[in-house]
Structure 1
Amino acid sequence: MAFEPGTPQGAGALLTVSPEKTCFLDASDSSDVDEGLLDDLELNPFDGLPYSSRFYELVKQREKLPIWKTKYVFLESLVRSQIVVVSGGAKCGKSSQIPQWCAEYCLSVNNRHGTVVCTQVQKQTAVWLPMRVADEMDVNIGHEVGYVVPFENCCTNETILRLRSVSTDVLLAFLKDILLARPELKVVLITPPELSDKLLAYYGCVPLIQVEHPHSAEVVYAPCIQRDPFLAAIRLLFEIHHSQEKGDIVVFLACEQEIRRAFEMIHQESIHMNPALGELHPIPIYPHCSLPYYMPYDGLAHTGTGHRRNVVLTSSHGEALVWINNLHFVIDIGLERRKVFHSNLKSHKINTYPLSDYIMTFSTGKMFCLYPEEVTQTEMKIFLTPKVQESNLTSMVLFLKRMDIAGLGHCEFINRPDPESLMQALEDLDYLAALDNDGNLSEFGIIMSEFPLDPQLSKSILAACEFDCVHEMLTLAAMVTAPSCFLDSPMDTDDAKLRRRMKFLHPAGDHFTLINIYREYTQRRKNNIGLYIVERWCQDHLLDYTALETARVIRGELLDIMKRLELPVSEPAFGTDENVLNIKKSLLSGYFMQIARDVDGLGNYIMLIHKQVGQLHPDSGYFLNHIIPEWILFHEFSVADRSCIRIATEISPELFMQMVPQYYFSNLPPSESKQILEKASECRTTNAAAEDRSENQDTVTEEETSSAPEQRCLIQ
């Protein structure tokens, strides 16, 4: 977990403790309790039930953690101070033990509970960590310990310890004022040693608890920079396995694409491997997965046995998710690929950074760094730019506006966002009609803020209420919010991929193809044919079962929000021409800022708001069918090795001009595309005027025809 979004894995956390009383009962350290004073069955004060035998086993493991020696020093500091900073390296136990000690601090003598909230940046950590904590506390997940992440709330009113995924940069910006207003509130900041000075400077004179973490692991550096670090890591992995040295392996790769690629390569190689070497079991961990369907804890907490060797594949952000008792080898390529949002381009750029991480801080074994040691001092950074300084801030600004926090430029951020990005976010919200003339949230913006979605997508859902296509738009919103449902197979050509997906492709565009896929998937689930068969069906069509299941959960949560807000939900009408047009209108209501035009008939699309050029993603139905629509609305544009446009749907210039806010269009820079749209608008205006004149003439003629006999009758 990360104290700031820009820091890598395991960097820290923020805990807020709101005790009803300051009495502390030591519920976990049974070694310090006089057994003669206890009954035969010691009761867990959190749920009133006897401790299980597993609890005592886990206590012995917890006592070996470096953080354990600081327990009572920490508790004394928590009693005396409102803010406590805990500094320690990775794997010292701070992420799992500190929340439990805070919960124990909140436990009163009459078994009434205060509340402990632990914030995490990554959703995966906010789900995995409470599972582990609940296991160590000997309580049930979802009762005494729970978590809250977008689209999932695993808590009750009785939950003592809650973990949430939030932006700690935003939270810390206002924490000083909150602490002044609530003296009973206590805050614990968990951080790596490299950030402790920055926190102390930000908060002033507060207690600092430093965790000593001796390391005896052997570190081996490469003699030179690797031409292909990924392949070098895979080769070293197989060399270790063939050496038959015992122990599990963790490989830190640059990105999720490399994780998937490595998983496939290891899986294929394992099929042809000598059985005498033992089973090589790859376990991919994707730290940025939107929802917690990749659950590493159950599969990794146990010690490897027999001839099975676990190989955990993750990126630097996934370090906090790795918990293997039998870990003996770590392979680090020293690189990280991450998305950086460019507000002026409204697109993401994939950058590769040399990253000297602190993932080597484990106590035994070997750490293989696939880069020279001198590179760590000359080129590598321990921490990268905080994400708040390189992310799309529109959602964050909408949240702050909803919290009635004004003057964003004057907020005391520990990592100040780019002022230009803040202004761009405010401008985008204004275009989306989320702000009123005074710059405050409009009624429309208040409703938009109720959805844990990108504001453009929230606007499209609300527009669907007007265009009577909410049912389809909720499905589409879930599909674009979940991870991509498309899988890549290196064995398949584009033609083979087209054959597998032909039944889903919709002529109206990729957005409609996603709706087709979701409808087919949910229909198969309803048929009760068994999850194994459904998963097999997904594999046969190169679809990701986990992503589709995630989309199903997200859609259910969005539907609950619609009902809570008493917003209308239309009946299904997918497939009719009117429904297709209404879905496009709804999409344009939110995504009018994401329009591109093919400039040469070859699929080179130029963005309407700037001069960047991109091509359709290989997963696009247009790409597979070799169709090149002239004008498209797209969901995402990423500037990478090959500038890709993801999820595109054809639109007409006339429809765009019908839906676009005029003050947005007037602010667009001059371009050939803008001239074409202006002409389309003029033609639309001319045609509309002609139709009005024709209708008026028809009305006059009808009136003259109907009134003539009456006049003649009167004359007679």
Structure 2
Amino acid sequence: METKTAEQRKVSDEFKVPAVKKQKFDAPVVNKQDIQIETANNRKRHLDDNSEATAAKVQTFKREETQIDLSKRNPLTGRPYTQRFWDLLKKRMGLPVWDYREKFMELLNKNQCITLVGETGSGKTTQIPQWCMDFAREKGALANRKYMVSCTQPRRVAAMSVATRVAEELDVSLGQEVGYSIRFEDCVSDRTVLKYCTDGMLLREAMNNPLLEQYNVVLLDEAHERTLATDILMGLIKEIIRQRQDLKIVVMSATLDAGKFQNYFDSCPLLSVPGRTFPVEIFYTPEPERDYLEAAVRTVIQIHVCEEVEGDILLFLTGQEEIEDACKRIRRELQNLGPETGDLLCIPLYSTLPPNQQQRIFDSAPPNKPNGAISRKCVVSTNIAETSLTIDGVVFVIDPGFSKQKVYNPRIRVESLLVCPISKASAMQRAGRAGRTKPGKCFRLYTEKAYKNEMQEQTYPEILRSNLGTVVLQLKKLGIDDLVHFDFMDPPAPETLMRALELLNYLSAIDDNGELTQLGSLMAEFPLDPQLAKMLIASTDLSCSNEILSITAMLSVPQCFVRPNEVKRAADEAKARFAHVDGDHLTLLNVYHAFKQHKEDPQWCYENFINYRALKNADEVRAQLAKIMDKFNLKRVSTDFNSRDYYINIRKALVAGFFMQVAHLERSGHYVTIKDNQLVNLHPSSVLDHKPEWALYNEFVLTSKNYIRTVTDVRPEWLIQMAPTYYDLNSFPDGSDAKRKLYAIIATSKKTHQ
């Protein structure tokens, strides 16, 4: 037996192996009354085994293939199938879910609603919707009418990626028979019969068609993630199926809590599909890590150098900035290892990456070196790779134990994305990614004690930790007024609902009786937060809707300024060239205008430290919002650029939407938020070179300090003029500088008008 190198000993010392080293991720256990199929070839699956079951399956396929007329036409296109279709079909038939096709179709025929538990990698997301499409096509043909199937995903990346794969499997063009729909992007046509979409987009469709009459089957995939939109959809669908006996519903989950969904949908049948799993060895750190990012990068390098088993690496991190930073560090470390080390292809994955770059995660690892050194692929991903996407070839998983989650405090009306510990269920899902194609290893960058004693069992549903303003507006638009008795799977706190109603009332989206106003109905048509929608609509009367369109688009995409560590000063100088004296919103407008003036030139973006992808995305978002404005006859207008009112009108429009998000500079030199009395600081990224007395902000950022980010200098008289109800000073806390100043302004205004 070979002796371990110093590097290999280092890896062994780095992690403590728990008492039970091998932990197999077995198929979910279900109750006896649930539908369970026991066959010899689904208890243990190996991609590379030569079991009789697998061999028999391949032989059966070959026999069937010889009987197939290869000129057989695709019912979706009317064209003969290509060879690629038959090649992919062979792979599809090897997926665990294929053993359950007959049983699934039988259940779909006999029941209106089905719950399906399918481990990640079982093939449920790609195959089940295709079978539902076959079912709908058959029923549609019998009824001589068009058919359509919708499959929701919690994430944009998954909707696009899965639709691309399924279009290939069905031998059709993406955007034709198979398409996807995500916020600000529709890739569908009149020919589309299978549509993957984000759960939020299906919710928006329901606003225009409350019974979802365009669909024969609706699938809610990744329901275990319990996103805000999925929870609302489940409540709506439960009501819809009482009125539409012809609509079939399939709820799919990757975790063992599917019984909760089954009970919610009146004890509907549960079908359990195991994945293809191998033993996964789990390692914990002996002590908590001070810097999990540094520890993660170190672990990637150690695995690459020391592990003698071929296989790719999957590293989970919390967001774009962290992921890009990790990729840079990994590449830098690799350069120090010398030419004898195997290549390591480092690929980032997060939601705002363009589709062609997202697809790189499916690329093969580089070939091994002639000296035998192993080359690998390392995917650095958000939690989208936990269940939404399956990346074959992963043998090593690195789990720092964190993800970004929305957290809402209704008392101070602040919603923030915070880095939070994951749940045990998420940790299990992450570890399971290592056992897809062969035995794997999962390196948890936290202690075993933390896993057992500190982590929650399941991720807290989003509806219990989110601002519900958008949700309540959508429900009102759907005609659901009795929010207290709406059938939520987990009802939100009454205080959170009351805060949402209060917000919409102040924005004039609902009246004092809780009824949706004409303005509120129009606001609901925009795929935006209520404040942004109100700002955009108000801008038409202030003759600045063109500019507010651009600002809204820029606020809807990731940060546009790039600030690399090695050239921070140059990046700051470039940013200063775009800076507007009144603040960050108008600076974003300057950036967008300059981008268009330079004909969307990527080189110009690079030279000015601007994120080209973010600007292109903003341009697309702007076009989508402009279409909605045109549809509802909202004028796209501008004030003359040379007029003194040009920037004043834009700032007034900002106040029309964000008057509740204003901080006042107190005599102490600190900012305090209006009404909620939170002590805050201007974010260091702000271009403001002075401290305005009244600062309107887009975002409240919770870190070690409270920051307000994307800030604009506004005038107090605009606050009283644009939002007299909110700025009724009788409702303000006593003793604040802001209240005293506003009283003085009102008194001065009264004297002026006497």
- Is 1:136 paired with 2:169? yes
CA distance in 2, matches of 1:381, 1:452: 33
- Aligned counterpart for 2:278 among listed residues 194, 203, 216: 216
2:360 alignment partner AA? G
The alignment partner of 1:486 has SS state of coil
Instruction: Name the SS for the 1:76 alignment partner.
Output: helix
- Preserved CA contact (<8 Å) 1:336 1:355: no
Sort the Cα spacing of 1:498 and 1:205 in 2 relative to 1 into closer, same or farther, 3 A: closer
Say which is worse superposed, 164-173 or 565-574, in terms of deviation. 565-574
**Map of 2:363 onto structure 1:** 302
Partner residue in 1 for 2:472: 397
Whether the aligned pair in 1 keeps the contact of 2:663 and 2:694 (CA below 8 Å) is yes
**Structure 2 counterpart SS, 1:503:** helix
**Cα displacement (A) at 1:315:** 2.3
Cα 1:63–1:375, aligned 2, differ >3 Å: closer, same or farther?
farther
- Equivalent residue in structure 2 for 1:286, among 350, 357, 367: 350
Which of 31, 42, 53 is equivalent to 2:61?
31
In the alignment, the residues of structure 2 paired with residue 341 and residue 662 of structure 1 have an alpha-carbon distance, to the nearest angstrom, of 24
**In structure 2, the residue corresponding to 1:513 is in which secondary structure?**
helix
Gaps of 5+ in 1: 1-10, 12-28, 527-533, 690-716
Distance 1:113 1:310, change over 3 A: farther
Tell me the CA shift for residue 397 of structure 1. Answer: 0.7
More displaced stretch, 150-159 vs 79-88: 150-159
Aligned-pair CA distance for 1:535: 2.9
Residue number among 387, 411, 420 corresponding to 1:352 in the alignment: 420
What TM-score, normalized by structure 2, do the two folds share?
Answer: 0.82
Distance in 2, matches of 1:243 and 1:480, equals 45
* 1:654 Cα deviation after fit: 2.3
How far apart are the structure 1 equivalents of 2:99 and 2:617?
41
Q: CA deviation at 1:81?
A: 0.6
Distance 1:276 1:54, change over 3 A: farther
Query: Is 1:620 matched up with 2:686?
Result: yes
What is the deviation of 1:193? Answer: 3.3
Q: Is 1:464 matched up with 2:539?
A: yes
Q: Which residue of 2 aligns with 1:380?
A: 455
Contact 2:175 2:187 in 1 (8 A): yes
Instruction: Verify: 1:658 aligned to 2:721, yes or no.
Output: yes
Checking the alignment, whether the CA contact within 8 Å between 1:632 and 1:649 is kept in structure 2 is: yes
Task: Using the TM superposition, name which of 399-408 and 312-321 deviates more.
Answer: 312-321
1:275-674 map, 5 Å: 275-287=339-351, 289=352, 293-295=354-356, 297-307=358-368, 309-320=376-387, 322-349=389-416, 350-356=418-424, 357=426, 358-361=429-432, 362-363=435-436, 364=438, 365-493=440-568, 495-525=569-599, 534-571=601-638, 573-574=640-641, 576-600=643-667, 602=669, 604-622=670-688, 625=689, 627-666=690-729, 667-670=731-734, 671-674=736-739
Closer, same or farther in 2 for the Cα pair 1:338/1:432, shift >3 Å? same
Matched position secondary structure for 2:528: coil
Q: Calculate the aligned-residue CA RMSD, in Å.
A: 2.4
Looking at structure 1, the residues matched to 666 and 726 of structure 2 have their Cα atoms a distance apart, in angstroms, of 25
Match of 2:744 among 679, 697, 716: 679
Q: Tell me how far 1:301 sits from its aligned partner.
A: 2.2
Q: Do 1:130 and 1:146's aligned partners in 2 also have CA atoms closer than 8 Å?
A: yes
**Which residue, out of 159, 168, 172, partners 1:126?**
159
Contact 2:122–2:276 under 8 Å retained in 1: no
| Conserved? CA contact 1:132–1:297, under 8 Å | no
Distance 1:686 1:175, change over 3 A: same
**1:100 corresponds to 2:100:** no
Give how far 1:386 is off.
0.8
* Offset of residue 170 of structure 1: 0.6
Contact 1:302–1:325, Cα closer than 8 Å, also in 2: no
Letter of the 1:252 counterpart: F
Work out whether residues 296 and 321 of structure 1, in 8 Å CA contact, stay in contact via their aligned partners in 2: no
> Which runs of structure 2 are paired with 1:246-257 in the superposition (5 Å)?
246-257=310-321
User: Counterparts of 2:64 and 2:122 in 1: how far apart (Å)?
Assistant: 28
Separation (CA, whole Å) in 1 of partners of 2:548 and 2:325:
33
The Cα shift of 1:641 comes to 2.4
Match of 2:324? Answer: 260
Provide TM-score, normalisation by structure 1.
Answer: 0.86
- The residue that corresponds to 2:264 in the other structure is 202
Give 1:421 shift.
1.0
**3-state secondary structure, aligned to 1:194:** coil
Q: Structure 1 residues 273, 538: CA separation in 2 closer, same or farther (over 3 Å shift)? A: farther
Provide the secondary structure at the position in 2 that maps to 1:339: strand
Aligned residues: 647
Cα offsets for 1:447-487 (capped at 9, x unmatched) = 11111111111111111111101110100110011112122
- The separation in 1 between residues aligned to 2:163 and 2:521, in whole angstroms, is 32
Deviation at 1:435, TM superposition (A): 1.4
Corresponding position of 1:72:
102
Secondary structure of the structure 1 residue equivalent to 2:252: strand
Structure 1 letter corresponding to 2:274: E
SS for the counterpart of 1:525 is coil
Give distance in 2, aligned partners of 1:441 and 1:63.
51
Give the counterpart of 1:62 among 88, 92, 109.
Answer: 92
Q: What secondary structure does 1:475 align onto?
A: helix
Amino acid paired to 1:655: W
Change (3 A) 1:281 1:522: farther
1:37 CA displacement: 5.2
Aligned counterparts of 1:147 and 1:136: Cα–Cα separation in 2: 15
Following TM superposition, by how much is the alpha carbon of 1:688 offset from its aligned partner in structure 2, in angstroms?
Answer: 3.0
Matching of residue 40 in structure 1 with residue 70 in structure 2: yes
Unaligned runs of 5+ in 2: 1-27, 29-58, 201-228, 369-374
Percent pairwise identity = 33
CA distance in 1, matches of 2:270, 2:531: 43
CA contact (8 A) 1:340 1:351 kept: no
Letter in 2 for 1:314: S
Flag the 1:378–1:471 CA change in 2: closer, same or farther, 3 A: same
Is the contact made by 1:301 and 1:323 (CA closer than 8 Å) also made in structure 2?
no
- C-alpha separation in 1, matches of 2:280 and 2:726: 62
Report the CA distance between 1:30 and its aligned residue: 9.6
Inter-partner Cα distance in structure 2 for 1:609 and 1:663: 9
Q: Are 2:194 and 1:161 equivalent residues in the alignment?
A: yes
Letter in 2 for 1:222: Y
**Distance (Å, rounded) in 1 between the aligned partners of 2:551 and 2:60:** 52
Conserved in 2, the CA contact under 8 Å of 1:87 and 1:191? yes
Distance 1:275 1:107, change over 3 A: farther
Give the deviation of 1:214 after TM superposition.
4.8
**How much does 1:48 deviate?**
1.7
CA pair 297-465 structure 1, distance change in 2 beyond 3 A? closer
Secondary structure of 2:681's match?
Answer: strand
Range that drifts further, 346-355 or 326-335? 346-355
Contact 1:128 1:295 in 2 (8 A): no
Q: 1:599 to 1:101 in 2, by over 3 A?
A: same
> Shift in Å at residue 565 of structure 1?
0.7
Superposition pairs of residues 214-253 of structure 1, within 5 angstroms: 214-224=276-286, 225-243=288-306, 245=308, 246-253=310-317
CA contact (8 A) 2:720 2:727 kept: no
Residue 121 of structure 2 is aligned with which of 87, 91, 114?
91
1:342: how far off?
1.6
SS in 2 for 1:277: coil
User: Is 2:285–2:444's contact at 8 Å kept on the other side of the alignment?
Assistant: no
Does the 8 Å CA contact 1:300/1:322 hold for their aligned counterparts? no
Q: Distance in 2 between matches of 1:300 and 1:562?
A: 37
